[in-house]
Amino acid sequence: MKRNLLNSLILVALAVPGVAMAEDSPVSANVGFVSDYLVRGISQTSGGPALQGGIDYALESGFHLGLWGSNISWIKDFGATGTSSLEVDTYAGYGGSFADDYSYDVGYIRYNYLGDYTPVVGTVKADTSEVYGSIGYKWVSAKYSYSLGDFLGVPNSKGTNYVEVNASYTLEGMGLDLGAHYGKQTYVGAEADAAKAAGFDPSYADYKLSVAKDVGGYVIGLAYSNTNAKKDAFYTTGLGKNLARSAGVLSVLHAF
């Protein structure tokens, strides 16, 4: 199923007139590989690799929308029964620049987890909707994301949010892109309050350092990520794997 998704993304991209040849086309596509799929410092594949791909549509006006997919394993790793090994995200937004060195973006993203599965007792379906807003200055940006409902399987968690600061700087002479990231995931709601009352705070911070280089049209990257999340059932699978551990990640991305 996941392989079919990626193949479909590639075929759709190549079938759209101008995608592969016209640089001014509003449609672009990408495919990639990561040795470990991390979201906000938490592994979505229990430390395993992932194949990923997406299609984006962006207008000069600043409006943009897209579709992106990846294989995942965390839902079943935590004990859900059934089939759920694919994440497909849909998103739309509006962005632009002002005062020369400033940029902004606001939008909506829906994390969809496909498959027929029964969540673990005490949890709900993982599908999540967020709105976000970001502002950047030169090579530094800040972003705020807010959950509109239950967040990634946690019931009664509307308002759970993520604040992040990102920096990206290119060493022109070496063709290297350096990146740094810091984020804070804050859980709110009844379940988070109950966890805190029991002596465990599910909220945590994460950081990442990365370097990437374009080699013949393929962007090869290396990153180190870590979190201060407490090792608890909240982040530990039924097989005892801590999904919030430190991780080194190799990535390869090709854009059309």
Give residues with Cβ within 8 angstroms of 49, minimum separation 6: 33, 34, 35, 36, 37
Residue 202 maps to which CATH number? Answer: 2.40.160.40
d(CA 72, CA 49): 9
- In Å, what is the CA distance from 194 to each residue of 53, 96, 119, 124, 153? 38, 41, 20, 16, 16
- In Å, what is the CA distance from 51 to each residue of 45, 173, 219? 11, 31, 15
Collapsed DSSP state (helix, strand, coil) of residue 84: coil
Range of the domain at 14: 2-255
Tally of domains in the chain: 1
* Token couple for 12: 């759709």
d(CA 113, CA 243): 18
pLDDT in tens, the chain (256 residues): 444 554 544 444 444 444 444 567 899 999 999 999 999 999 999 999 999 999 999 999 999 999 999 999 999 998 888 888 999 999 999 999 999 899 999 999 999 999 899 998 889 999 999 999 999 999 999 999 999 999 999 999 999 999 999 999 999 889 999 999 999 999 999 989 998 888 889 999 999 999 999 999 999 999 999 999 987 778 888 778 899 999 999 999 999 8
